[in-house]
Amino acid sequence: MATTDRFGQQQLGWQSAYLLHARPYQEQRQLLSLLTENDGVIGAVARTSGKQGGLTKAALQPFRPLRVQLSGRTSLKTLSQLDAPSLPIPLSGKPLFCGLYCNEIAVRLLPERQECPEVFSAYHQSLMQLAQTDEPQLVLRYFEWALLDHLGCAPSLAVDTQGEPLDDTAQYALVPEQGFMPVMHSGYAGQMLLGLRDQALSEMHLSQAKHLSRTLLKPLLGDKPLRSRELFQTKTSIRTSAP
């Protein structure tokens, strides 16, 4: 809950958060992008000098569950207090790059100070699953869909453009701003769409699901390349498996 003190400073109460991005800001400070449970993405400044600042800097790690208190008069808040109740969720290899990809698209797509508890929950679950899964592509598709759904850019996975329930034996074409239209062939498999809806995608439909996600995300992300994808390609030289 947000309150305002007698000096006009807005105080945001303790809430769960994850660090999406950090960079140096002024002298001995960092500029943070935080995904918070109650207030969505928030920009905040953290002091990193002195003993307490050193502890703060050490705690501010990607994929680490945090508890934060923020304050300030403007949209750019100050990190007032920080607690790191547990270690970072362990990601390495391909899941690490997938986690960085989730961070990057969240920063680029989510408006600041817009509540999105369902995205926060999806992000947390994605990190937990990335730490355990052998197929991170499944996790990415579900997180992308949570973002698209929050932004109002996800077509219905319940009914087609004619209002009929999606059929798992049918094929569908994506009609911009309308949804999925039944077609005779060369479309998205109804079974894939229903699997995406129910978070029950099969490996045989991963390629289609990835194509659908990229088609929907492209106009939102624009032409600026994703650094996480470029980093993955540079480190692994496996272009076809990039997030």
Give the pLDDT band of residue 237 (cuts 50, 70, 90). Answer: low
Q: Token digits for 136?
A: 């991170």
The pLDDT value given to residue 183? 97
- Chain-centre distance for alpha carbon 117: 12
b vs e for 65-96, b when ≥16 Cβ sit within 10 Å of the residue's Cβ? Answer: bbebbbbbeeeebbbbebebeeebbebeebbb
Helices (H), 5-135: 50-59, 94-109, 117-130
The pLDDT value given to residue 35? 98
CATH, range 2-83: 2.40.50.140
Lowest mean pLDDT among 12-16, 51-55, 193-197, 211-215: 51-55
Give the pLDDT band of residue 134 (cuts 50, 70, 90). Answer: confident
* Mean pLDDT for all residues in the chain: 91
Give the pLDDT band of residue 228 (cuts 50, 70, 90). Answer: confident
pLDDT at 190 over 90: yes
Give the integer Cα–Cα distance in Å for 113 and 203.
36
| C-alpha R_g of the chain | 20
Q: Token digits for 8?
A: 């006009």
pLDDT at 234 over 80: no
The CA angle 128-45-99, to the nearest 5 degrees, is: 20
Give the pLDDT band of residue 26 (cuts 50, 70, 90). Answer: confident
Lowest mean pLDDT among 90-94, 99-103, 145-149: 90-94
Q: Which CATH class is domain 94-241?
A: mainly alpha
What ranges do the domains of the chain cover? 2-83, 94-241
The pLDDT value given to residue 233? 75
Overall average pLDDT of the 161-188 stretch = 96
